[in-house]
Structure 1
Amino acid sequence: MGTQGDIAALVGRLLIAALFLLAALHKAWVPMAVEVVLAVRGWPTWLVWPALVFNLLAALSLILGIQVRPMALMLAAYCGITSLFHFIPSDAWQMSIFIKNWAIAGGCLVLFAHGPGRFALRP
Structure 2
Amino acid sequence: MQRWNNLASLAGRVLIAALFLAGAVQKAIDSAPAGEMLVNWGLPFGLVWVAMVYNLGAAVALILGIALRLVALSLALYCMVTSFFHLIPDDPWQMSIFVKNWAIAGGCLVLAGQGGGAWRLRFAP
Per the TM alignment, residue 41 of structure 1 is displaced from its structure 2 partner at its CA by 1.7
The residue correspondences of 1:37-116 to structure 2 (distance < 5 A) are 37-116=37-116
Structure 1 partner of 2:25: 25
Q: Tell me, what secondary structure is at the counterpart of 1:122?
A: coil
* Alpha-carbon offset, residue 67 of structure 1: 0.7
| Structure 1 partner of 2:2 | 2
Identical residues among aligned pairs (%): 55
SS in 1 for 2:121: coil
**Aligned match of 1:120:** 120
TM-score norm. by structure 2 comes to 0.94
Shift in Å, 1:40: 1.4
Judge which range, 17-26 or 37-46, deviates more: 37-46
| Structure 1 unmatched ranges of 5 or more | none
TM-score, L = length of structure 1: 0.96
Amino acid at match of 2:10: L
Distance (whole Å) between structure 1 residues aligned to residue 70 and residue 24 of structure 2:
19
Gaps of 5+ in 2: none
Aligned to 1:45, the other structure's residue is in SS state coil
The SS at the match of 1:42 is coil
